[in-house]
Amino acid sequence: MALMNIHQLSVIYLDERDRILVRFNTTQAEELRLWLTRRLVSRVMAPLREAVGQLETRRSPLPTDDPQTRQMLTQLRRAQAMQQSDFATPYRDTPDKLPLGSKPLVVTQLRITVQADGQLHLGFEERLTDQADVRGFQVAMESAMVHGFMHLLEAAVARAEWGIASAHGQDISVSGEEWQDPSAPKYLQ
């Protein structure tokens, strides 16, 4: 499974499919597409949040053994990342290459690895019974991209109304104003 470096991403809930479509534009001008189902998202949100906390802990020069300290550090880094993220630049819809084809992967397995170099690697795999080959790819994200991805994923989950809890134990929900605006930020560069 080749490691891809992300340049831009889009995360949007599609009501007619009841799935979240994630598209990654790589630094090599390739686009990788995948579907996230409610079942998968409900299983991976807590491990993803834990991995983000571990990532920030490794980046911190201070001891962060206490879970509350780790959570506060993660929230601080997320706020910093959100201030610096570019949600205004439109997602580039015309990729040079689609290495996995135009049909998005239906993710059945997600591998999450916190790297010592301060990156988070996410390995997406599609293992279907009627399919001989496993399709998949792995992406590398720096801290700011990880926080942007989590922000967009949580916004898509809120729009989906799947009843998946936030990091604070509350259902992820969306205000009426956001709900009425389907053009709310869906990409990160």
Q: Among 153, 165, 160, 164, which Cα is nearest to 179's?
A: 160
Report the C-alpha gap between 172 and 109 in whole angstroms: 23
Residue type, 150: M
Residue 72 main-chain phi, psi, to 5 deg? -65, -40
pLDDT of the residue at 84: 75
Q: Which residue has the tokens 């591998």?
A: 111
Report whether 11 contacts 20 (CB < 8 A).
yes
The CA-based angle 13-15-17, given to 5 degrees, is 95
Report whether 28 contacts 2 (CB < 8 A).
no
pLDDT of the residue at 2: 65
Question: What are the structure tokens assigned to 58, written together?
Answer: 């490794």
pLDDT of the residue at 138: 92
Report the C-alpha gap between 74 and 81 in whole angstroms: 10
Q: Which letter does DSSP use for residue 21 in this model?
A: E
The CA-to-CA distance between both ends of the chain, in Å, stands at: 24
pTM confidence score: 0.78
Per-residue pLDDT in tens (0 to 9) along the chain, 189 residues: 567 778 889 999 999 999 999 999 988 889 999 999 999 999 999 999 888 888 877 766 666 667 777 677 677 777 776 677 677 777 778 788 999 999 999 999 999 999 988 889 999 999 988 888 899 999 988 888 888 899 899 999 999 999 886 544 444 333 333 333 344 444 444
Report the C-alpha gap between 119 and 23 in whole angstroms: 19
* Helices 143-160 and 38-59, packing angle to 10 deg: 150
